[in-house]
């Protein structure tokens, strides 16, 4: 289907050496996009790039710290100058820190906000400054069901994902008139390295299976369709939307 064809487009996915970011990069490559992997661990990035190339994907590596505004802008500018336009950005980089709120370290709160929120602003702004003169571009921010729901011990994470939802709406409001489409995907509970401690907890798994209408953890591959849709021509009039991919957890009490 032509509307979902991403051939000829370059997609930068932050935090894409593993987990959801890698799965999305792999899925976008299957839809035809050239992939630009990002992360701070050079060895992991090279391994991810090699694995994607083994599938026939066209892959570049762009290592930079998404929490450093100047470094992010310089890396994006360098890629645009030397390699060509970035047509798609997926702001996926994120972290978790679980501690009761009354004991939550200030430095951990600051680090979490820089990683989960500031990075989306820094990289989003850097990429949008190139997309706007071209009159087109797709940005997808990775939010979470925690934008709507809270659990004990993750209040700052919940705040960060709520911020991503509203940043997405703000980006769309400012940039839609320039031809950009900015949306968010809000995953439910997925079996990823970020959730390793929960996946290993039988009591939590039993609770999650009862709480989620689908009755199970999500698989990272199940996020790909939403990402391909939102970055393709099929979503040409979708802007400021948050697409929950959560097995129904936000629909059910």
What are the E-state strand segments in the chain?
10-13, 34-37, 59-61, 88-91, 137-142, 180-187, 242-245
- Structural domains of the chain ordered from first start: 2-191+219-244 (3.40.50.720)
Q: What is the pLDDT of residue 58?
A: 97
- The answer, yes or no, to whether residue 253 has pLDDT greater than 90, is no
Q: What size, in residues, is the chain? A: 253
Residue 59 neighbours by CB under 8 Å, 6+ apart: 29, 34, 35, 36, 37, 49, 52, 53
The whole-model pTM stands at 0.96
pLDDT for 193 equals 84
Please answer whether residues 105 and 149 qualify as being in contact, where contact means their C-beta atoms are separated by less than 8 angstroms.
Answer: no
- What confidence score (pLDDT) does residue 71 get? 98
**For residue 146, which of 217, 84, 96, 204 has the smallest C-alpha distance?**
96
pLDDT mean over 68-93: 98
Nearest to 171 by CA among 134, 224, 123, 113: 123
Given this model, what pLDDT does residue 1 score?
Answer: 78
Write down the residue that tokens 């959560």 correspond to. 246
140: its two tokens = 């997808």
Of 124, 135, 129, 130, residue with least CA distance to 183: 124
**C-alpha neighbours within 13 Å on the C-beta side of residue 133:** 7
- Please check the confidence at residue 109 and state whether its pLDDT lies above 90: yes
The DSSP element (H or E) to which 38 belongs, if any, is none
- The per-residue pLDDT of the chain, averaged, comes to 97
Question: In 3D, which of 96, 227, 111 has the Cα closest to residue 158?
Answer: 96
Percent of the chain having pLDDT more than 90? 96
**Mean pLDDT across the stretch 78-85?**
98
Tell me the per-residue pLDDT of 176-223, one tens digit each, with 9 for 90 and over: 999 999 999 999 999 988 888 899 999 999 999 999 999 999 999 999
Mean pLDDT of 111-119: 98
CA-closest candidate to residue 96, choices 206, 20, 205, 43: 20
CB 10 within 8 A of CB 86: yes
pLDDT of residue 155: 97
Contacts of 147-153 with CB under 8 Å at 24 or more apart are 147/186, 147/242, 148/186, 148/250, 149/249, 149/250, 152/100, 153/98, 153/99, 153/100, 153/101
Q: 4-40 pLDDT, tens per residue?
A: 999 999 999 999 999 999 999 999 999 999 999 999 9
Calculate mean pLDDT across residues 222-236. Answer: 98
**pLDDT per residue over 121-158, tens digit each?**
999 999 999 999 999 999 999 999 999 999 999 999 99
Q: Given pLDDT bands bounded at 50, 70 and 90, which one contains residue 54?
A: very high
Active-site annotation, residues: 157
Burial of residue 40 (number of CB atoms within 10 Å: 0-12, 13-18, 19+): middle
């Amino acid at each position: 289907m032509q509307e979902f064809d991403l051939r000829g487009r370059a997609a930068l996915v932050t935090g894409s050496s593993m987990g959801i970011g890698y799965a999305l990069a792999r899925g976008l490559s299957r839809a035809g996009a050239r992939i630009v992997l990002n992360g701070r661990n050079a060895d992991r990035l090279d391994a991810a790039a090699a694995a994607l190339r083994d599938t026939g994907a066209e892959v570049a590596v762009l290592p930079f710290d998404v929490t450093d505004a100047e470094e992010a802008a310089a890396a994006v500018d360098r890629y645009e100058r030397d390699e060509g336009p970035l047509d798609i950005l997926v702001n996926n980089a994120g972290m978790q820190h679980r501690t009761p709120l009354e004991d939550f370290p200030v430095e951990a709160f600051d680090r979490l906000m820089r990683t989960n929120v500031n990075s989306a602003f820094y990289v989003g702004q850097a990429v949008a400054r190139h997309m706007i003169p071209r009159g087109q571009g797709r940005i997808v921010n990775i939010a979470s069901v925690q934008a709507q729901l809270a659990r004990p011990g993750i209040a700052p994470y919940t705040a960060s994902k709520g911020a991503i939802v509203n940043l997405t709406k703000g980006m769309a409001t400012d940039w839609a008139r320039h031809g950009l489409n900015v949306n968010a995907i809000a995953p439910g509970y997925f079996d990823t390295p970020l959730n390793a401690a929960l996946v290993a907890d039988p009591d939590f798994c039993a609770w999650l299976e009862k709480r989620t209408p689908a009755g199970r953890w999500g698989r990272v591959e199940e996020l790909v369709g939403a990402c391909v849709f939102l970055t393709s021509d099929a979503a040409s009039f979708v802007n400021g939307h948050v697409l929950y991919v959560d097995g129904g957890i936000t629909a059910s009490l």
